[in-house]
């Protein structure tokens, strides 16, 4: 339960049709196993107490009484377990039979939720036996010696974890145009459970998986799906015991076909609540609300924590994402060029990753506009820290792309400027470094004036998050195409371009750029190679991007981010290193907001961005104290 994580389980027991004693025993076995593994919410299949495919046996009083007795046994079993359990059974009320989901916890039957939509086609004849849930006329019944709530809008909420609010629907309910889960989510449920008995035919498993993934995304919820399996009748159809757990568009766990047992993972309900707070769609909850309790304990995490949340793992998906981002960047620049009527685009080329990507984007934008690439003014501006390697890559890149090459050294201008302000050339402090960045920006702006052009910025999202930019230097441009692209993604975009450009010389240059250490090259080289490596100074970009993503995307605090980073980067960075750079991240993120408050325009390409005009409305003088205190407390715990 710590940090908003709740372990959940989809369970498929082996059953015997109409043998409620056997079935209750198997359900109780899996309940115990799930609870011992730490599951807080466990979901069993539709009508699992009797079996789904009992047919006209559902009219037998003996079977219905057996189901009630079995539910009593299941409820009694739950008295010694920590968790909320959903089981399916038939329940007769006022002369009508309903397909029900029963929620049990700590010895109590908390509520009964009826199935709304009953299939009546092919081999399914539920309407032959059951009544739709919306025809219920009671709000409670006496069942197994307990007064039990009955309703279609019941929400089970955890008193010990306020973000955990559970709603239930049954099988076909999900497949209709307006599933009950939509209403339940709009009223506040963060986790939806589905007790199902879906038959298996070719292609259905894939469709079912997409359906559940999509529903969890639309409702910004966790979704737990458990379907019937071994023991159901195979007279006309087969049941595979498919079990799925999804969270906001991602399938976290899925069972193998034709298996019984448990499928478990963790759902982050705090993350879901954070996403919903950014929307006006979801309400605070209404209808019948029933509490349940859970022990307060740390949930052991078994789900994968992605160390690179901005970059897809799958190569094909990554290639699609790269193409989409390049299209967004180039279309944005195209629109700005056409709107302003600028004749040229002016960009500084250092031979590094960011300026390389910017030039590639400009070239694509010019192609989209049908403009001659000779109107791209690419300026290389060697300074005190420029190495032969980066200079050569800059020159080769410009010429390969057919842009106009200009070389304007900044050494004399910066030397004169430092002399004017009385600063020694031997003092390699921040003034020495930033004067070079500001001189380069002045050159670009003036060249743009000369040529009727627009200065295209090269700085990326990771640099903006850390404030790793010279104010009114590389911080400033007329349109920043990389402003919402993190550094690690910049690398993948350049690699994608190299792999797909079809130009061997250009690809060779791009690959060498990729192999060059990230550096602002503001300090003199040592032995002809780069002496100033950015990640040695501010920390690994992959860590900072992980911190940034979880802070801005989900509102996570330092303790939760540290916990997730420890899992994601296990074997790569130890706790001390993660905490060191986590403190640097929060200190710099808060202190450098003033730079982000006056960013130039630029296209948003992902869900995390820092534009002051829409994505990050943050005051420049906000205190980082609470965040830094939390990091310091974590550091002291491990000292």
Candidates 78, 87, 80, 2; CA nearest to 266 is: 2
What pairing do the DSSP bridges indicate for beta strands 140-143 and 108-114? unpaired
Largest Cα span, the chain: 100
Residues in Cβ contact with 392 at an 8 Å cutoff, skipping those fewer than 6 apart: 351
Q: Which of 115, 187, 560, 595 is catalytic?
A: 115
Tokens of 213: 């993934």
User: Is 171 an active-site residue?
Assistant: yes
The beta-strand segments (E) located in 305-367 are 344-348
Q: Whole-angstrom Cα distance, residue 209 to residue 488?
A: 31
Cβ pair 374, 540 in contact under 8 A: no
Q: Which of 7, 46, 165, 232 is catalytic?
A: 46
What pairing do the DSSP bridges indicate for beta strands 261-268 and 41-43? unpaired
Q: Whole-angstrom Cα distance, residue 162 to residue 549?
A: 24
Q: Whole-angstrom Cα distance, residue 358 to residue 441?
A: 15
Query: According to the 3-state scheme, what is the secondary structure of 553-609?
Result: HHCCCHHHHHHHHHHHCCCCCCHHHHHHHHHHHHHHHHHCHHHHCCCCCCCCCCCCC
Q: Which of 54, 144, 171, 221 is catalytic?
A: 171
User: Is 636 an active-site residue?
Assistant: no
DSSP letter at 529 equals B
User: Is 115 an active-site residue?
Assistant: yes
Q: Whole-angstrom Cα distance, residue 218 to residue 220?
A: 6
Q: How far is CA 596 from the centre of its chain?
A: 24
Query: According to the 3-state scheme, what is the secondary structure of 177-194?
Result: CCCHHHHHHHCCCCEEEE
Cβ pair 144, 91 in contact under 8 A: no
Q: Whole-angstrom Cα distance, residue 164 to residue 268?
A: 9
CA-CA-CA-CA torsion sign (228, 229, 232, 235): positive
Q: Which helix (H) or strand (E) holds 461?
A: helix 461-466
Cβ pair 455, 379 in contact under 8 A: no
Please identify every residue annotated as catalytic: 46, 115, 171
């Amino acid at each position: 339960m710590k940090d908003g994580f709740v372990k959940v389980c989809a369970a498929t027991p082996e059953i015997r049709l109409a043998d409620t004693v056997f079935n209750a025993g198997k359900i109780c076995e899996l309940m115990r196993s799930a609870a011992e593994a730490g599951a807080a919410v466990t979901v069993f299949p539709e009508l699992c107490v009797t079996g789904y495919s009992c047919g006209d046996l559902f009219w037998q009083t003996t079977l219905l009484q057996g189901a009630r007795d079995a539910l009593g046994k299941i409820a009694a079993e739950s008295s010694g377990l920590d968790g909320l359990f959903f089981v399916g059974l038939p329940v007769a009320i006022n002369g009508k039979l309903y397909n029900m989901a029963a929620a049990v916890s700590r010895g109590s039957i908390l509520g009964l939720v009826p199935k709304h939509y009953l299939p009546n086609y092919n081999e399914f004849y539920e309407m032959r036996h059951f009544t739709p849930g919306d025809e219920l006329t009671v709000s409670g019944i006496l069942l197994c010696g307990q007064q039990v709530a009955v309703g279609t809008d019941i929400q089970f909420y955890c008193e010990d974890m306020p973000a955990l609010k559970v709603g239930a629907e049954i099988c076909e309910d999900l497949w209709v145009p307006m599933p009950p889960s939509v209403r339940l989510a709009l009223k506040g449920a963060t986790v939806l459970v589905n007790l199902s008995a879906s038959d298996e035919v070719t292609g259905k498993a894939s469709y079912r998986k997409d359906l559940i993934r999509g529903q969890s995304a639309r409702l910004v919820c966790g979704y737990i799906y458990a379907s019937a399996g071994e023991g159901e009748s195979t007279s006309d159809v087969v049941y595979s015991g498919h079990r799925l757990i999804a969270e906001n568009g991602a399938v976290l766990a899925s069972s193998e076909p034709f298996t019984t047992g448990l499928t478990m993972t963790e759902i982050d309900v705090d993350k879901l609540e954070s996403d919903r707070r950014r929307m006006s769609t979801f309400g605070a909850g209404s209808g019948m609300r029933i509490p349940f309790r859970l022990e307060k304990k740390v949930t052991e995490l078994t789900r994968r924590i992605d160390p690179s949340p901005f970059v897809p793992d799958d190569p094909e998906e990554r290639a699609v994402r790269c193409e989409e981002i390049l299209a967004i960047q180039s279309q944005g620049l195209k629109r700005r060029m056409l709107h302003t009527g600028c004749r040229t685009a002016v960009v500084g080329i250092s031979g590094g990753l960011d300026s390389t990507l910017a030039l590639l984007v400009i070239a694509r934008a010019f192609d989209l506009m049908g403009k001659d690439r000779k109107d791209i003014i690419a300026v290389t501006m060697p300074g005190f820290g420029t190495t032969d390697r980066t200079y050569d890559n800059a020159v080769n890149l410009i010429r390969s792309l057919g842009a106009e090459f200009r070389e304007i050294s900044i050494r004399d201008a910066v030397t004169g400027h430092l002399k004017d302000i009385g600063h020694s050339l031997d003092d390699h402090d921040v003034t020495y470094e930033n004067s070079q960045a500001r001189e380069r920006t002045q050159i670009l702006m003036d060249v743009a004036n000369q040529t009727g052009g627009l200065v295209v910025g090269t700085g990326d999202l990771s640099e903006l998050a850390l404030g790793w930019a010279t104010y009114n230097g590389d911080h400033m441009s007329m349109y920043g195409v990389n402003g919402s692209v993190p550094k690690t993604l910049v690398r993948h975009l350049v690699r994608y371009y190299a792999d797909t450009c079809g130009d061997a010389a250009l690809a060779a240059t791009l690959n060498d750029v990729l192999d060059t250490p990230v550096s602002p090259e503001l300090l003199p080289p040592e032995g002809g190679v780069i002496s100033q490596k950015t990640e040695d100074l501010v920390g690994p970009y992959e860590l900072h991007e992980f911190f940034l993503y979880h802070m801005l995307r989900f509102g996570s605090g330092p303790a939760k981010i540290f916990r997730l980073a420890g899992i994601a980067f296990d074997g790569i960075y130890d706790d001390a290193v993660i905490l060191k750079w986590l403190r640097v991240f929060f200190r710099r993120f808060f202190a450098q907001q003033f730079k982000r408050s006056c960013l130039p325009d630029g296209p948003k390409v992902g869900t995390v961005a820092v534009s002051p005009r829409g994505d990050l409305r943050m005051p420049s003088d906000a205190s980082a104290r609470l965040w830094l205190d939390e990091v310091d407390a974590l550091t002291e715990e491990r000292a």
